[in-house]
Amino acid sequence: MRISSLRTLELADFTWLSSGRATLVVPGERTKTGQPLEFELNAEVTARLKRHIADFRSRLPGASGPYLFPGPQGGARSKTALSDAIRRGMRRAGLEMNPHLFRHVIAKIVTDADPGAYLPVSRVLGHTTLDTNMAHYLGAGTKASGRYLDGLLSETMAQASKGGR
């Protein structure tokens, strides 16, 4: 998620499911592309979100407002302030990384592991076309793509030898 959307998340954007997990819906008017984003959060992220809300958010100035990351006056925390907080956390973990770089790193890790994931990665990143994902985030990826296709061909050949096709 882009920092501009992250900073404007509201508590009302989350729905708490009976499974103990949460869903997040970001309306299109709060995304760069105008496309709404919807995610079902995994159990670990849901637990961290609940902890932030229960233990930390209330300590922030402006916590009486609707924002997950409130600013001092109750509005959304500024892009710079949220970005700086993320960078400080990354430095404590021994990494020098800005929030936008997370998008690149996640896209690279996922598509190196599974080049067939270009479309889902593109959707999660909020791109309107797959071309954006391919051109700006992933590069050629031919080595990973070759491994992926080799695996598909091996699987197909194994099924064919078993009479599956």
CA 153 to mean position of chain CA atoms: 31
Asked if pLDDT for residue 138 goes beyond 60, the answer is no
pLDDT value for 2: 87
- Joined together, the tokens standing for residue 134 give 């391919």
Q: Give the pLDDT confidence of 76-109 residue by residue, as tens digits.
A: 999 999 999 999 998 999 988 888 888 778 888 8
Residue 37, strand partner residues: 26
**Range of the structural domain that residue 154 is part of:** 98-165
pLDDT value for 19: 92
Task: Tally the C-alpha atoms within 13 A of residue 64's C-alpha that lie toward its C-beta.
Answer: 1
Q: Quick one: pLDDT band at residue 137, thresholds 50, 70, 90? A: low
* Helical axes 99-113 vs 142-161, angle rounded to 10°: 30
The CA distances from residue 64 to 22, 69, 73, 127, in Å, are 22, 11, 10, 33
Last residue of a domain, one of 64, 96, 128: 96
Rounded to an integer, the average pLDDT of 50-70 is 94
Counting the structural domains of the chain, the total is: 2
Residues 108 and 117 sit within 8 Å (Cβ to Cβ): no
Q: Are residues 8 and 82 in the same domain?
A: yes
The pTM score is 0.73
Ordered strands of the 14-16 beta sheet = 14-16, 22-26, 37-41
The total number of residues shown for the chain amounts to 165
Q: Are residues 92 and 114 in the same domain?
A: no
Q: Give the pLDDT confidence of 116-129 residue by residue, as tens digits.
A: 777 777 777 777 77
Last residue of a domain, one of 37, 72, 96: 96
